[in-house]
Amino acid sequence: MPALLKQPTTVSAQIDFLDPALEEVPYSCLGPPARDPPTNIESYPVDVEITDLRSIPDYLHEFTTATSGFQIVEHESACLDEIDSEEGKQKYFKEMEQLLLASLPGSTRVQVFNSTIRRKKHNAPAAGTARTPENTGPVSRAHNDNTPMSGARRVLAEMEDEGEELSKGRCQIINVWRPLSYPAVDCPLAAMDYRTLDAEKDLVPTDLILSNEGGRKGQNYSVLHSPAQKWYYLSEQRPDEAIIFKIYDSLVEPGLSQLTPHSAFVNPLAPADALPRQSIEIRALVFY
């Protein structure tokens, strides 16, 4: 009798989506409120089934930035214990640039342009308004950091004199996320498989009003929920495991992922005394 195929393991958890009842352009102010209210985005929580990648055979090769929009890589950093210093951060940026060159076939140049460290427990109150690692927690709302418009602008802004020439070739924005110090248990990161996204129906351009930059507008994508969407996470993801996920790609062709909706979620399987997630996320420009 043939062996029964093992079913992938899932966890049912809440992710916040954009409220489909919103009739105006969604917006959010970053920094001191430039509008009243500072955002018009209402949470639309949905319980979704999130599949554990560890329960899928050969998940390291089955999911790639070109197909699903994300991939898992095994990579041990040599400088996570000094990540809070400027010198340690710059060392880490160099590590990530080399990791992306090795992980993305055809890439020829990578430049990390910013990073975020998060150490605040998901349900802890904010300690003031300063955006420090201890005051920055997981974002449990489905989103993508850029739209095609803001992604192209980011390339021009970050690369300055070279931006226009580099933009003539293929450009990407790629993020790399990993836990710090110990596995992420209480609030893992979930990513949607791009192949299950209806980009025309599920993505809504959202204005980001940058109050500290004179009200300049950026833009990202909010996400409407659909039962067709499939979400994944890596249970007890360790600091030597990183998720690489695509935010923007200037190359548009059939079958090629363009982005990766993602969100943190409160893990119902986590023990009550689970340590608060500590993580670092870098954002990089990749050229081909």
The per-residue pLDDT for range 59-116, each reduced to its tens digit, is: 999 999 999 999 999 999 999 999 999 999 999 999 999 999 999 999 999 999 999 9
Tell me the per-residue pLDDT of 129-145, one tens digit each, with 9 for 90 and over. 667 888 788 899 999 99
The mean per-residue pLDDT over the stretch 143-165 comes to 96
Ranking 5-9, 78-82, 87-91, 189-193 by mean pLDDT, the lowest is: 5-9
pLDDT the model gives residue 134:
83
pLDDT the model gives residue 214:
60
Tell me the per-residue pLDDT of 27-56, one tens digit each, with 9 for 90 and over. 998 877 667 888 999 989 999 999 999 999
Q: Could you tell me the maximum CA-CA distance found in the chain, to the nearest angstrom?
A: 69
Beta bridge partners of 163: none
- Using the predicted structure, report yes or no on whether residue 179 has a pLDDT greater than 70: yes
pLDDT the model gives residue 101:
98
pLDDT the model gives residue 212:
66
- Render 55-113 in DSSP notation, one character per residue: GSTTHHHH--TTTTSEEEEE---S-GGGTTSHHHHHHHHHHHHHHHHHHSTT--EEEEE
pLDDT the model gives residue 24:
94
pLDDT the model gives residue 137:
84
Tell me the per-residue pLDDT of 220-260, one tens digit each, with 9 for 90 and over. 999 999 999 999 999 999 999 999 999 999 999 999 999 99
pLDDT band at 1 (very low <50, low <70, confident <90, very high): very low
pLDDT the model gives residue 100:
98
Mean pLDDT computed over every residue of the chain? 93
Tokens encoding 227: 């039962």
- Using the predicted structure, report yes or no on whether residue 26 has a pLDDT greater than 70: yes
Half-sphere exposure of 285 (CA within 13 A, CB side): 23
DSSP state of 6: P
* Of residues 124 and 262, more confidently modeled: 262
DSSP state of 184: B
Ranking 24-28, 132-136, 263-267 by mean pLDDT, the lowest is: 132-136
* Total number of residues shown for the chain: 288
